[in-house]
Amino acid sequence: MKKTATTIGQYLIQRLHSHGVRHVFGIPGDYVLGFYDLLQHSKLRLVNTCDEQGAGFAADAYARVRGLGVVCITYCVGGLKVANTTAEAFAEKSPVVVISGAPGMKEREKNPLLHHKVREFDTQAQVFKHLTVASTVLSDPQTAFQEIDRVLHAALRYKRPVYIELPRDMVDLPGNPHYRPQEIHEASQPQSLRAALAEAAAMINGAKKPVIIADVEVHRFGLQETLLKLAQKANIPVAATILGKSVIGEQQPLYLGVYEGAMGREEVRRYVESSDCVIMLGAFMTDINLGIFTARLDPGRSIAATSEKLSIRYHNYEEVRFKDFVRGLLATKLRRRPAPRIPRLRPPANFKPRPGAARVTVKRLFECLNSFLDEHAIVVADVGDSLFGAADLFIRKRTEFISPAYYTSMGFAVPAAVGAQIANPKLRPLVLVGDGAFQMTGMELATAARYGLNPIVVVLNNRGYGTERPMKDGPFNDLWPWQFHRVPEVLGAGRGFVIETESELDEALRAAEQHTSCFCLLEVRLDPHDRSPALQRLAGRMAANV
């Protein structure tokens, strides 16, 4: 029997599956229905969200946990709604594949005014060219397979999003039958790598007080175990950035805590900034990572390695891959020094609510959450005090804390929890989200209910945009007061709690821990002017720039 030729749609699905993808997030539309039908009958599972932005955030979190995520939407009305989530994935180095349906190539002849079209037929493709590391329009069956492999390779090589536009009349067309995928292995320039490792080893071995700052690319390139072995081999303490938090388990003896300039714990800041050799691995020196540029790091005492650049003191090394450098450091002869005396992050004590009707404060909220966390939880934090108050939560395993800590797009956490739990069903998300962010994407709890997920969602209800209030307050920071704890009634699923006292918080968390059949929503009512110490410090710095 003659073998049927592989179509462009089939090949795209096959290659996604071969790279470990098992789920696709999105919302259907007429320009992508043909591809959706293929997906429905493939090894990949479709996850329909409430809104395209929710699908984009879910795919982003899935990529952070699993290694590659996919969002699939229709042309322009769907595609442009994931422009923001794609921008976040680019900024924070998350490999998301954006697949957009589009008008067929034959439909475009004579430039008709088809629905969803904006300006020209390639307008959306031009937008995503600026938001991704590689993009393609699969308009030619002879080159479609090659183009699919090119952009997927770029996503995995650079850990950034890519864009694939699939005209609807191309989905079922056979591609080039003679094409065979080729695995691309990019290696460092050997001499440059050897020279970089030699200089780095000499600098580390000659230092009295080296320290590692580990950031997001250690997560993205799967180097957590290599990092831990490197630290243990030479007894070098490790600090994380807030974007890279949970890069190693925080119970590790060599873990310092989160370094974020003057925003972070003072003892961590002093230790890092007094080091004579700061080894920055996969670190991006953003304003948030640097505590709004309050960090004091001397390039002359630094080794800075990312996927884009390697510099040692003031020397730049070309064509050295980040993975090769980190693994090479582990294989290099490094002096093992005595165990350093470092300020350790202590495991949290059991939370004991104050007697009576003691009101919940932000500080006490996070103390309670810290006591509640265990090794089966993944913390998903939104922007504001949901993020800054969570910086010192005690995370027991690697890559179990995710947040948009650089791009800081509100509305990330609830849909991201959907993507994170689908990526790793063994973990139960603890979602930290402000009332403003929840009003943007909180209805994705319907998606959680539909697919049998059970996140515990803590809404920090301070009746407005709490990050902005200390910078410049006004009625523009106020929100309409939702009764968040009643959202489960609207959805017909889940369990809601309203919390004003410490005792109610403790009781609600215990009840939520036992309620595993669906999501739980804990509305914690806070004073509008209460905020974590970290946010107070950050707001003070940002207010000076308003």
All structural domains of the chain: 8-167 (3.40.50.970), 190-331 (3.40.50.1220), 362-543 (3.40.50.970)
Segment 260-268 mean pLDDT: 76
- Percent of the chain at pLDDT above 90? 70
pLDDT band with cut points at 50, 70 and 90 for residue 266? confident
- Other Cβ atoms within 10 Å of 22 Cβ, number: 14
Segment 121-129 mean pLDDT: 94
- What are the DSSP calls for 305-336, one per residue? E-SS-EEETTEEESS--HHHHHHHHHHS--PP
| Range in 47-61, 148-162, 233-247, 391-405 with the lowest mean pLDDT | 391-405
Q: For 223-245, what is each residue's pLDDT tens digit?
A: 999 999 999 999 999 999 888 88
Q: Where are the alpha helices (DSSP H) in 182-321?
A: 190-206, 216-220, 224-234, 266-273
Q: Give the span between the Cα atoms of 378 and 381, in whole angstroms.
A: 10
- pLDDT for 389: 86
Segment 49-72 mean pLDDT: 97
Segment 442-455 mean pLDDT: 98
Q: Give the span between the Cα atoms of 522 and 484, in whole angstroms.
A: 8
3-state secondary structure of 527: coil
Across the chain, what does the average pLDDT equal? 91
**311: exposed, middle or buried (C-beta count within 10 Å: 0-12, 13-18, 19+)?**
middle
3-state secondary structure of 377: strand
Q: Give the span between the Cα atoms of 455 and 464, in whole angstroms.
A: 24
Q: Does residue 366 carry a pLDDT above 80?
A: yes
Alpha carbon separation from 53 to 85, 116, 469 (Å, rounded)? 7, 17, 26
Q: Give the span between the Cα atoms of 364 and 466, in whole angstroms.
A: 17
pLDDT band with cut points at 50, 70 and 90 for residue 33? very high
Q: Give the span between the Cα atoms of 258 and 278, in whole angstroms.
A: 14
* CB under 8 A, 24+ apart: contacts of 524-527: 524/360, 524/365, 524/458, 524/459, 524/460, 524/461, 524/499, 525/360, 525/461, 525/498, 525/499, 525/500, 526/360, 526/361, 526/362, 526/365, 526/460, 526/461, 526/462, 527/359, 527/361, 527/462
Segment 495-502 mean pLDDT: 97
pLDDT band with cut points at 50, 70 and 90 for residue 543? low
- pLDDT for 96: 98
User: Which run of H or E residues covers position 512?
Assistant: helix 502-514
Q: Give the span between the Cα atoms of 432 and 384, in whole angstroms.
A: 10
The pair of three-digit structure tokens given for residue 434, joined into one six-digit string: 């402000």
- pLDDT for 1: 46
Q: Give the span between the Cα atoms of 323 and 326, in whole angstroms.
A: 5
Q: For 178-206, what is each residue's pLDDT tens digit?
A: 998 877 778 899 999 999 999 999 999 99
* CB under 8 A, 24+ apart: contacts of 511-517: 512/456, 513/372, 513/456, 515/454, 516/428, 516/454, 517/454
- pLDDT for 242: 86
- pLDDT for 213: 94
- pLDDT for 538: 64
Q: Which amino acid is at 23?
A: H
Segment 140-147 mean pLDDT: 96
| Range in 180-184, 368-372, 384-388, 512-516 with the lowest mean pLDDT | 180-184
Q: Does residue 285 carry a pLDDT above 70?
A: yes
Report the first-to-last Cα separation within the chain, whole angstroms.
71
- pLDDT for 452: 97
| Range in 29-33, 247-251, 314-318, 325-329 with the lowest mean pLDDT | 247-251
pLDDT band with cut points at 50, 70 and 90 for residue 289? low
- pLDDT for 297: 78
- Other Cβ atoms within 10 Å of 126 Cβ, number: 11
User: Which of 174-178, 286-290, 397-401: highest mean pLDDT?
Assistant: 174-178
